[in-house]
Chains A and B, each alone.
Chain A
Amino acid sequence: MTTSHTAPKRRRLVNLRNFPSFTAVSWGVLFFLYIPLAYVLFYSFNSSRIATIWQSFSLHWYSVTFHDPDIQRALSNSIKIAIGATIFSTFFAVIAALGLLRMKRAGSAFAWALIGAPLLIAEIVLAVGTLAFFRAVNIPLGLVAMTIAHTAFCIPFALIPIRARLGQLDNAPFEAAADLGANEVQILRRITLPLLAPAIISGALLAFAISIDDFITSFFLSGPGSTTLPVFIFGMIRSTVTPEVDAISSLLLLFSGVVLISSYVLNRRRR
């Protein structure tokens, strides 16, 4: 704000900064985005049993959270599924991104329709469809069923950064390698994958975040002992809303923040 108004480049920007109320609206939007999260974080330190009524500062609900075996199990289920879905969906995304580059138009249109479907079709539709299908072929509900479903809808998210990176790649190293007699496998291992690595990691992080946050699919496909954290939290919100919900949510907020920052750092390094 105290920047000099002498540089011509700056003055251009200053003109647009002057749209009346843009600054106010923007701060308002940021406030709107963050106030509920801040509120949840604040109320996680509430000693009261009722989540909406403040009593006094306390770490009680964090202690309850850390000692609740159901939460630990739900968290461990969520992590297991998310790790599985991340590994499989990233793998499927990488091979799809590379293979589809040379696929014929008709084939790739079908493939892209399948990959993009989770972005377009309402999650509940895919969830109940998967439930009906798994039931028809006797795939039992539980961790395996959930991991399959999560992998499917994580693929497009894992693919987005990989595809973007592929589009930016320079052809020179590939041509040079081919000229030097490298075969396809060597090019893939020595050039393509290393160049794609940051994008693959970004995609994997995105897939992990999408999987661990999922509620609807997990709700319909969970089985014995495989309740995930969001399904568990939903049950808590439904029945007894104690500040324990706020404590778990705050821990997840913290976790999401860490994941975002690591992805952010990775992206910066790539540039």
Chain B
Amino acid sequence: MGSNKKRLASFAAIAAVTTMLLSACGGSTTASSTAAAGGSTAAFPTKGTGEVHLYNWTDYIDPEQLKAFTADTGIKVILDTFDSNETALAKLQSGATGYDVVFPSDYMVKQMIELNLLEKVSPATFPNGSKIKSNMMGVYWDANRDYSAPWMYGSTGIACNTKAEPKCSSIKSWKDWFTVGLPKMDSLKDQTEVVSAALRATGVAAADLCTTDKAKYAAALDLLKGFKPAVIDSDSGIERVIAGTSNVRMAWNGSTHRMKEKVPSVEYIYPSEGLNLWADNMVVPVGAPDLDNAKIFINWMMDPKNIAAESNFTGYDNGITGSDAFMSDSLKNDPAVVVPADKVALLSPTPACDQTARDLYTQVFTTWLGAQ
């Protein structure tokens, strides 16, 4: 009983965190007002024919679940994968009409909406739309959930194998991370994550991560110049940590959870300057050939049981109320996934910057890459 209560408290903590997504661009509206309308769609189809074409991150959806979806609905699933939000954007903008459901992150959804790339399917009005967590409504990229349904969300911090590299437990902050200089240390090849972490390490506040003050970027670059990881890659590195070829890495909390399942000595570090909270989504691109199937798929995935199975596979928490009842204990008891109460304040949304700031990010990032 006691542990159950603690668990609930932890989930409440992460709920508090995610409400911060609301305030990211001041686009907050009253939560779940539209979701209430969900019940009226009495004739929402649950079965279909033909196919649904998914376009998701690599290794980010459970193949067994896709089989279950086909068994439930009669719709065949075709899955293609991408390695970055920008790859997905490039495909959608280059006339790749044929995807039905795409899984971009927060800031990318915002841009896709601005570019008129997304179909207004109003997932909040789907039968399962009312189950969207209240803190996942009113998000800055899609305030009324007109275009996007929540998928997984998580944070980007540091994974550390304390047994293979005892020194890594001394890392407490991004500043430590950039200056500690340990072997078998890997960084993500992601300009937003690397540069925002360096900005945080040099004293830029979370709310100010899209600053256009060049001096701040100069300071971040100064710090980065001494940072020479062994590998800079865009993958999760799960296999590399398990194989022992990587001991310390910039990592997403969900992949850290998956590492821990094989290597218990892995720990997830919440850097003291704060870390990025991101949320991925299910969206339907304009011109999707199987619009109804796309809706059926999104609604099916918003079922607490189904999305919980995905959480169990990916290692991330999701945006659907009631899914925690179906989540595995190892997930619910992992401080990488369920944020400890004293760490909640560290999380803030991934900065969604305008072109000017993004150019500065690119300049810092490519200069750092070039200095390797």
Is A224's CB under 8 angstroms from B83's CB? Answer: no
Q: Please give, as numbers and ranges, the residues of chain B lying within 8 Å of A141 by CB-CB distance.
A: 91, 94-96
Confirm or deny: A175 has a beta carbon within 8 angstroms of a beta carbon on chain B. no
Q: Please give, as numbers and ranges, the residues of chain A lying within 8 Å of B245 by CB-CB distance.
A: 52
Is B78's CB under 8 angstroms from A238's CB? Answer: no
B28 CB, nearest partner CB in chain A, Å? 34
Is A140's CB under 8 angstroms from B243's CB? Answer: no
Is A224's CB under 8 angstroms from B99's CB? Answer: yes
Confirm or deny: A198 has a beta carbon within 8 angstroms of a beta carbon on chain B. no
Q: Please give, as numbers and ranges, the residues of chain B lying within 8 Å of A18 by CB-CB distance.
A: none
Instruction: Look across to chain B and name the residue whose beta carbon is closest to the beta carbon of A138.
Output: B95
Is A238's CB under 8 angstroms from B234's CB? Answer: yes
Main secondary structure of the interface of A (DSSP, over half): loop
Q: Please give, as numbers and ranges, the residues of chain A lying within 8 Å of B83 by CB-CB distance.
A: 235, 238
B217 CB, nearest partner CB in chain A, Å? 28
Give which listed residue, A50, A135, A241, A242, contacts B95 with CB less than 8 A: A135
Is A225's CB under 8 angstroms from B94's CB? Answer: no
The number of A-B residue pairs with CB atoms under 8 Å apart is: 69
Confirm or deny: B265 has a beta carbon within 8 angstroms of a beta carbon on chain A. no
Q: How large is the interface on A (under 10, 10 to 19, 20 to 34, 35 or more residues)?
A: 20 to 34
Confirm or deny: B208 has a beta carbon within 8 angstroms of a beta carbon on chain A. no
Q: Please give, as numbers and ranges, the residues of chain A lying within 8 Å of B99 by CB-CB distance.
A: 224
Confirm or deny: B62 has a beta carbon within 8 angstroms of a beta carbon on chain A. no
B297 CB, nearest partner CB in chain A, Å? 14
A141–B93 CA distance with the chains assembled, in angstroms? 10
Confirm or deny: B58 has a beta carbon within 8 angstroms of a beta carbon on chain A. yes
B245 CB, nearest partner CB in chain A, Å? 8
A:223-271 near B, CB below 8 Å: 223-227, 235-236, 238-242
Interface, chain A (partner B; CB < 8 A): 49-53, 70, 73, 131, 134-135, 138-142, 222-227, 235-236, 238-242
Given A52-B245, A131-B94, A239-B236, 20 other A-B residues pairs in contact with their CB atoms under 8 A: A50-B239, A53-B243, A70-B63, A131-B90, A140-B95, A141-B94, A142-B96, A223-B98, A224-B53, A224-B96, A224-B97, A224-B99, A225-B51, A225-B80, A227-B80, A227-B81, A235-B81, A236-B58, A238-B234, A238-B235
- Between A and B, 16 residue pairs with Cβ closer than 8 Å are A51-B239, A70-B63, A131-B94, A134-B95, A135-B95, A138-B95, A140-B95, A224-B97, A224-B98, A226-B80, A227-B81, A238-B83, A239-B58, A239-B238, A240-B238, A240-B239
